[in-house]
Amino acid sequence: MSFSDIPVDVGPVYEGERIRGNQMYVELGGPKIEKHFELVRVKKDKEIEDGKVILIGPDIKDMEVGSRHPIGILVEVSGPELEEDLEAVFERRVHEFCNFVNGIMHLNQRYTNWMRISKSAVEKGFDNFQMLGTVLIRLYKAELPIIKKAQVTIYTDPDKIGKPYDVALEIYNKRDERARSINDEDVDMFYGCVLCQSFAPTHACCITPNRMSLCGSISWFDARAAARVDPKGPLFEVPPQECLNELAGEFVGVNEMIKKRSLGEIERIYLYSGMEFPHTSCGCFEAIDFFIPETGAGHGIIDRNHDGVAINGLPFSAMANQTGGGKQMPGFNGISIQYIISPKYQKYDGINSGLESGIYTIVWMGKTVKDRVYEFLPEDLRDKIATEEEVADLSELPAWLEKVGHPIIETEEYKAAVSGVEEEEEWEEGGAMVPMGTVGMTIPGVGGSGGFKLILKNCKIHAESIIIKRIEPKRKK
Q: Give tens-digit pLDDT for 319-341.
A: 888 888 888 889 999 999 999 99
Distances (CA, A) of 135 to 80, 98, 144: 23, 8, 14
283 pLDDT more than 90: no
pLDDT attached to residue 446: 42
- What pLDDT is recorded for position 347? 95
Please report how many Cα atoms fall inside a 13 Å half-sphere around the Cα of residue 166, on the Cβ side.
4
Confidence of residue 3 (pLDDT cuts 50, 70, 90): confident
Return the pLDDT at 136. Answer: 96
pLDDT(382) > 70: yes
- Residue 214: name the closest of 282, 263, 160 by CA: 282
- Out of 3.80.10.10, 3.30.420.10, 3.30.428.10, 3.30.1650.10, the CATH code matching 12-175 is 3.30.1650.10
- Alpha-carbon span 120 to 124, nearest angstrom: 6
pLDDT band at 400 (very low <50, low <70, confident <90, very high): very high
Residue of higher predicted confidence among 327 and 8? 8
Cβ contact 167:155 at 8 Å: no
Which residues have a Cβ under 8 Å from the Cβ of 272 and sit 6 or more positions away?
A: 247, 248, 249, 344, 345, 346, 347, 348, 358
Percentage with pLDDT > 90 across the chain: 61
Which residues are CB-neighbours of 205 under 8 A, at least 6 positions away? Answer: 192, 193, 194, 196, 213, 214, 218, 279, 282
Residues 477 and 475: their CA atoms lie apart, in Å, by: 6
Q: Band the pLDDT of 88: cuts 50, 70, 90.
A: confident
* Domain range annotation of the chain: 12-175, 180-434
Report yes or no: 323 and 333 within 8 Å, Cβ to Cβ.
Answer: yes
Residue 370, classified by CB atoms within 10 Å of its CB into exposed (0-12), middle (13-18) or buried (19+), is buried
What beta strand segments (E) does 260-406 contain? 287-291, 299-303, 332-335, 362-365
Question: What CATH class is the domain 180-434?
Answer: alpha beta
| Least confident piece of the model among 46-60, 279-293, 380-394, 409-423 | 409-423
* pLDDT at residue 159, as a whole number: 94
Q: Terminus-to-terminus CA distance in the chain, angstroms?
A: 75
Residue 311 is predicted with a pLDDT of 93
How far apart are the C-alpha atoms of 140 and 93, rounded to whole Å?
Answer: 8
Mean pLDDT of all residues in 130-148: 93
Classify strands 72-78 and 37-42 as parallel, antiparallel or unpaired: parallel
Segment 42-68, tens digit of pLDDT:
999 999 999 999 999 999 999 999 999
What is the pTM (predicted TM-score) of this model?
A: 0.70
Among 125-134, 307-316, 426-435, which is the least confidently predicted range?
A: 426-435
Angle (CA) 400 405 409, round 5°:
85
Nearest-angstrom CA–CA distance, 180 and 178: 5
